[in-house]
């Protein structure tokens, strides 16, 4: 009898020990995740401060270094699992792209997209950059990694926070082509909350209640096709950015 009791006690002790171990492992993992998220936020704040104070001059580094820094920021955002208003507007620090449409065309045609691997985006993928007068003529390009954007207006001028903060190209914390869910969370939803910049929020307030951009105009479509033909001939090689979740994002807002 005593032997049976000892065996039962031993089994119970083993079960309790295993249960406690699993609980401790779960707690440790959760604590480690929380610590990692906090560490990522601290490192991101430090990096943002370096850029804002000029300690880290993004304009002074090479394209390769620039992209490495940008990807580091993306990793920190993903580790933190959240986007703050400051981090959202910090995207605008990563706006390196040719200043004119002609320069962009030359880089794609003769340099295979250059270091960034620029590609023309379809008109459907340009939809959120067509607000306002002649917005339907805007043309969008995206880097091969899906993070960098450049938008050019009807005059071939690159749109920035200074000349058109509503339609400007923005840096994406998540690859807008291959990481659609992350892109929606880290880039698109914050855009609907905070706009591209504080100035773009003011611009939106000054527009009509219907903010849907004009997508169909013969002149704009013919212009797009002309440039697409110059870049890719008869092939359809421009970057397609499915926008089926954009309407859902607008509904969330």
Condensed to tens digits (0 to 9), the pLDDT of residues 196-250 reads 988 765 555 445 444 455 555 778 999 999 999 999 985 544 555 544 333 333 3
User: How many whole angstroms separate alpha carbon 175 and alpha carbon 148?
Assistant: 9
Judge whether 191 and 155 are in contact, CB under 8 Å.
Answer: no
DSSP label at 186? Answer: I
For residue range 41-62, what is the model confidence (pLDDT) as tens digits?
A: 999 999 999 999 999 999 999 9
pLDDT value of position 253: 32
Look up residue 85 and give its two tokens.
């208003």
Kindly state the percentage of the chain with pLDDT values over 90.
58
User: How many whole angstroms separate alpha carbon 149 and alpha carbon 176?
Assistant: 10
Higher-confidence position of 165 and 249: 165
Look up residue 136 and give its two tokens.
């339907």
For residue range 93-124, what is the model confidence (pLDDT) as tens digits?
A: 999 999 999 999 999 999 999 999 999 999 98
> Burial code of 199-233, b = ≥16 C-beta within 10 A, e = fewer?
ebeebeeeeeeeeebeeeeeebeeebeebbeebee
User: In angstroms, what CA-CA distances link 168 with 60, 97, 100, 139?
Assistant: 22, 12, 13, 11
User: In angstroms, what CA-CA distances link 110 with 64, 117, 226, 231?
Assistant: 19, 12, 17, 10
Confidence (pTM): 0.76
pLDDT value of position 5: 52
pLDDT value of position 218: 79
* Closest by CA position to 173, among listed 93, 65, 60: 93
Judge whether 43 and 73 are in contact, CB under 8 Å.
Answer: no
pLDDT value of position 53: 93
59: helix, strand or coil: helix
Res 4 pLDDT > 60: no
User: How many whole angstroms separate alpha carbon 80 and alpha carbon 43?
Assistant: 10
Please give the torsion angle defined by the CA atoms of residues 228, 233, 238 and 243, in that order, rounded to the nearest 10 degrees. Answer: 70
For residue range 207-218, what is the model confidence (pLDDT) as tens digits?
A: 544 445 555 577
Judge whether 121 and 241 are in contact, CB under 8 Å.
Answer: yes
User: Taking every pair of C-alpha atoms in the chain, what is the biggest distance, in angstroms?
Assistant: 94
Look up residue 126 and give its two tokens.
């340009």
| Helices and strands, counts by H and E, the chain | 9, 3
Strands 139-142 and 119-120: antiparallel
Look up residue 75 and give its two tokens.
């990793």
């Amino acid at each position: 009898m005593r032997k049976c009791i000892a065996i039962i006690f031993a089994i119970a002790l083993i079960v309790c020990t295993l249960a406690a171990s699993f609980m401790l492992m779960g707690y440790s993992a959760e604590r480690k995740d929380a610590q990692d998220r906090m560490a990522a936020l601290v490192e991101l704040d430090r990096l943002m401060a370096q850029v804002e104070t000029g300690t880290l001059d993004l304009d002074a580094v090479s394209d390769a270094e620039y992209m490495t820094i940008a990807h580091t920021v993306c990793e920190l955002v993903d580790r933190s699992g959240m986007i703050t208003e400051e981090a959202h507007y910090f995207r605008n620090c990563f706006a390196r792209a040719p200043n004119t449409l002609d320069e962009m065309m030359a880089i794609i045609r003769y340099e295979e997209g250059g270091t960034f691997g620029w590609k023309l985006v379809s008109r459907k993928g340009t939809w959120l950059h067509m607000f306002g007068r002649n917005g339907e003529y805007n043309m969008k390009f995206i880097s091969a990694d899906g993070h960098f954007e450049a938008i050019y207006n009807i005059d071939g001028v690159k749109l920035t926070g200074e000349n058109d903060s509503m339609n400007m190209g923005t840096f994406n914390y998540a690859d807008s082509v291959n990481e659609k869910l992350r892109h929606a969370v880290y880039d698109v939803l914050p855009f609907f909350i905070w706009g591209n910049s504080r100035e773009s929020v003011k611009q939106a307030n000054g527009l009509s209640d219907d903010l849907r951009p004009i997508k169909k105009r013969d002149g704009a479509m013919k212009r797009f096709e002309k440039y697409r033909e110059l870049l890719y001939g008869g092939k359809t090689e421009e970057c397609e950015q499915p926008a089926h979740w954009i309407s859902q994002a607008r509904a969330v807002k």
